[in-house]
């Protein structure tokens, strides 16, 4: 990992995430193999692949909580895990990580106080917390204990925490799992609003292929390797498939054919 | 590199925190302490158990030794130091374990929160709780149960508070090695019981087998109990008392530091 000084802000918009030869090992196993991709700024990038293909590990590497990461991984112009990135990235893990024995508002109050500490910032914090609760449509549950909420609601509390402090990059690990269709649509609307109005970069993982169509760009993964990286439309036309799911399957077959040839 | 579409990314600097994440930040520490206390407030039964059980045990002890108030003096004073250590050990090890397993620890360490802020926040919150617990237990023992203390009850309270800090430190450290609540609770007999047996509560340490006496010399609870007994027998602060207090405080800080090292920002 190279610790370079800041690139000048006037340069052409650098990608939010740039990875080259990114490899992650867990114990004896290599979970991610020589990944090379970019995540453009201000767009929604979908990270798709079957369960266990390394999506969460990749997200943890980008956020800087994953150990044993080798290769190049630059996030917002800094090496991943750089201390100054901590207030610029919002991260939502797959399982909601909130305090069950606090109310929704108390949860957000605490995380807001970590991001923007001090008594002078109290009014600003209050405003941000109220906004974040409204963003995830939990205003009517603001004073309910997180532990008493449904699974989907707790997930949205976790998302609200990540929205605090207007992060430049939002890393969301399967944020729509277990949500009803209406909420899912609303959340995707929120993601598009964030990208359009706040210029937020979103990296959203999913193993549900029909969510792919809602992303600007896609990164398709399988067994720790990168299958493809393109827009949904380009992926479909390249493979001649009607849906991203069919495109994914055709890419898997193509890759399997290649490995069969190379091992022959 | 692929051809990425031109984006309208903002490259403004964020409304960044004023202090660096590594320095101890008073407002982040107090925010953490307030959060821990708020969590406890939603759990009144735990507070009641924490505060009342030491008092009930002292009452029990007082009437078990109904015929020999001197024994009650000896054991009672020692227990005033041991209770906060045990309860804070249990509470902290479970609380930090929960923080690890719920994913909130990972989330916190991905935010601009220093490890020292987190630990100091916990120590502050549980320290406050320990003051309430010890004040009630000490007050009850001295004024209602007739515990005969030669020195100042304030010094008893000081030792009790340091013991609570030591318990918090040990609990934090141990929680790093526990994968479940089951294991965390089992660390109580492993870490606390040997100290309980060797601290001089049951028999003076000088009467033990020399090997055990040496072992008890390096266990912090021995000094916690010795400090209590110094207050019990002497009107003013003795040199031994000062030594005891410094050793317990030093141990607490040392273990807190080791506990901080078990908090990793990057995990496998």
pLDDT band for position A254 (50/70/90)?
confident
Q: What is the pLDDT of residue B20?
A: 42
Q: What is the pLDDT of residue A244?
A: 86
Query: Buried (b) or exposed (e) across B225-253, using 16+ Cβ within 10 A?
Result: bbbbbbbbeeeeeeeebeebbebbbebbe
Q: What is the pLDDT of residue B3?
A: 33
The chain-wide mean pLDDT, for chain A, equals 89
Q: What is the pLDDT of residue A263?
A: 59
pLDDT band for position A12 (50/70/90)?
low
β partners of residue A145: A103
Please name the member of A43, A114, A216 whose beta carbon is closest to the beta carbon of B113.
A114
Residue A44 scores a pLDDT above 50? yes
CB contact B14 to A (< 8 Å): yes
CB contact A88 to B (< 8 Å): yes
Q: What is the pLDDT of residue A264?
A: 58
β partners of residue A226: A221
CB contact B3 to A (< 8 Å): no
pLDDT band for position B243 (50/70/90)?
very high
What are the distances in angstroms from CA A187 to CA A9, A124, A155, A160, A201?
A: 31, 24, 11, 11, 15
pLDDT band for position A261 (50/70/90)?
low
pLDDT band for position B188 (50/70/90)?
confident
What percent of chain A has pLDDT above 90? 63
Q: What is the dihedral of CA B251, B103, B116, A103, to 10 degrees?
A: -110
For residue range B248-262, list pLDDT tens digits in order.
999 999 998 888 888
Determine contact, residues B137/B61, Cβ cutoff 8 Å. Answer: no
Residue A8 scores a pLDDT above 70? no
Window 32-71 of A, Cβ < 8 Å to B: 38, 40-43, 63-68
Q: What is the pLDDT of residue A152?
A: 85
pLDDT band for position A203 (50/70/90)?
very high
For residue range B101-110, list pLDDT tens digits in order.
888 998 998 8
Q: What is the pLDDT of residue B77?
A: 87
Residue A88 in tokens: 């610029």
Taking phi over 0 as left and psi of -120 to 50 as alpha, with beta for the rest, B228 belongs to alpha
Q: What is the mean pLDDT of residues A190-207?
A: 93
Window 38-67 of B, Cβ < 8 Å to A: 38-39, 42-43
Return the biggest CA–CA distance within chain A.
68
CB contact B2 to A (< 8 Å): yes
Report d(CA B107, CA A143) in Å as an integer: 22
Q: What is the pLDDT of residue A211?
A: 85
CB contact A28 to B (< 8 Å): no
Best B29, B111, B263 residue to mutate vs chain A (most A CBs within 10 Å):
B111
Overall pTM > 0.90: no
For residue range A120-146, list pLDDT tens digits in order.
889 999 999 999 999 999 999 999 999
Could you give the strand order of the β-sheet that contains A89-92, starting from the edge strand earlier in sequence?
A89-92, A169-173, A201-206, A44-48, A217-222, A225-230
pLDDT band for position A262 (50/70/90)?
low
Three-state DSSP state, A168:
coil
Residues of A in contact with B102 (CB under 8 A): 97-100
Q: What is the pLDDT of residue B11?
A: 34
Could you give the strand order of the β-sheet that contains A78-79, starting from the edge strand earlier in sequence?
A29-39, A17-26, A69-75, A78-79
What are B10-16's contacts with CB under 8 Å, separation 24+?
Answer: B10/A42, B10/A168, B10/A198, B10/A199, B11/A9, B11/A13, B14/A87, B14/A88, B14/A165, B14/A166, B14/A167, B14/A168, B15/A116, B15/A165, B15/A166, B16/A84, B16/A87
Q: What is the pLDDT of residue B13?
A: 36
Q: What is the mean pLDDT of residues A17-26?
A: 94
Please name the member of A13, A117, A161 whose beta carbon is closest to the beta carbon of B17.
A117
Q: What is the pLDDT of residue A151?
A: 85
Three-state DSSP state, A89:
strand
Do the strands A78-79 and A69-75 form a parallel or antiparallel pair, or are they unpaired? Answer: antiparallel
Q: What is the pLDDT of residue B136?
A: 92
How would DSSP label each residue in A211-246?
A: GGGGSSEEEEEETTEEEEEE-HHHHHHHHT-SSHHH
Instruction: Say if the Cβ atoms of B9 and A41 lie within 8 Å.
Output: yes
């Amino acid at each position: 990992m190279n610790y370079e000084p800041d690139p000048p802000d006037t340069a052409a918009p650098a990608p939010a995430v740039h990875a080259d030869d990114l490899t992650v090992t867990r114990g004896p196993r290599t979970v991610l193999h020589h990944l090379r991709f970019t995540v453009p700024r201000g767009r929604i990038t979908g990270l798709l692949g079957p369960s266990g293909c390394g999506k969460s590990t990749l997200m943890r590497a980008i956020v800087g909580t994953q150990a044993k990461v080798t290769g190049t991984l630059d996030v917002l112009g800094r090496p991943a895990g750089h201390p100054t990135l901590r207030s610029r990235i919002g991260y939502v893990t797959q399982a909601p990580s909130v305090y069950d024995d606090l109310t929704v508002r108390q949860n957000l109050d605490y995380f807001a106080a970590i991001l923007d500490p001090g008594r002078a910032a109290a009014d600003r914090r209050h405003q941000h917390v109220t906004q974040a609760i409204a963003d995830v449509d939990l205003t009517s549950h603001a004073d309910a204990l997180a532990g008493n909420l449904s699974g989907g609601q707790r997930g949205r509390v976790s998302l609200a925490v990540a929205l605090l402090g207007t992060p430049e990059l939002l890393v969301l690990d399967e944020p729509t799992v277990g949500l009803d269709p209406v909420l899912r649509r609303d959340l995707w609307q929120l993601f598009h609003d964030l990208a359009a109005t706040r210029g937020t970069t979103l990296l959203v993982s999913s193993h549900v292929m029909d969510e792919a169509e809602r992303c600007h760009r896609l990164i398709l993964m399988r067994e720790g390797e990168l299958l493809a990286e393109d827009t949904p439309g380009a992926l479909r036309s390249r493979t001649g498939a009607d849906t991203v799911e069919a495109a994914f399957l055709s890419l898997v077959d193509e890759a399997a054919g290649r490995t069969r040839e190379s091992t022959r | 590199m692929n051809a990425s579409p031109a984006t309208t990314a903002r490259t403004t600097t964020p409304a960044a925190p004023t202090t660096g994440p590594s320095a101890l930040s008073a407002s982040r520490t107090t925010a953490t302490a307030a959060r821990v206390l708020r969590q406890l407030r939603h759990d009144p039964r735990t507070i009641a158990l924490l505060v009342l059980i030491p008092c009930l045990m002292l009452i029990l002890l007082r009437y078990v030794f109904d015929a020999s108030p001197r024994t009650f003096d000896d054991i009672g004073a020692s227990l005033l130091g041991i209770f906060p250590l045990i309860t804070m050990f249990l509470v902290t090890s479970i609380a930090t374990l929960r923080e690890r397993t719920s994913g909130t620890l990972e989330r916190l360490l991905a935010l601009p929160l220093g490890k020292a802020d987190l630990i100091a926040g916990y120590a502050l919150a549980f320290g406050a709780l320990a003051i309430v617990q010890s004040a009630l237990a000490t007050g009850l023992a001295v004024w209602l149960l007739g515990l005969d203390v030669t020195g100042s009850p304030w010094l008893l309270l000081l030792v009790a508070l340091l013991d609570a800090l030591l318990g918090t430190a040990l609990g934090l450290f141990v929680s790093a090695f526990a994968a479940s609540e089951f294991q965390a609770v089992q660390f109580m007999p492993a870490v606390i019981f040997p100290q309980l047996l060797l601290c001089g509560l049951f028999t003076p340490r000088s009467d033990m087998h020399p090997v055990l006496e040496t072992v008890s010399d390096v266990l912090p609870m021995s000094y916690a109990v010795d400090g209590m007994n110094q207050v019990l027998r002497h009107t003013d602060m003795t040199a031994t008392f000062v030594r005891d207090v410094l050793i317990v405080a030093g141990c607490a800080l040392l273990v807190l530091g080791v506990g901080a090292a078990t908090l990793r920002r990057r995990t496998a």
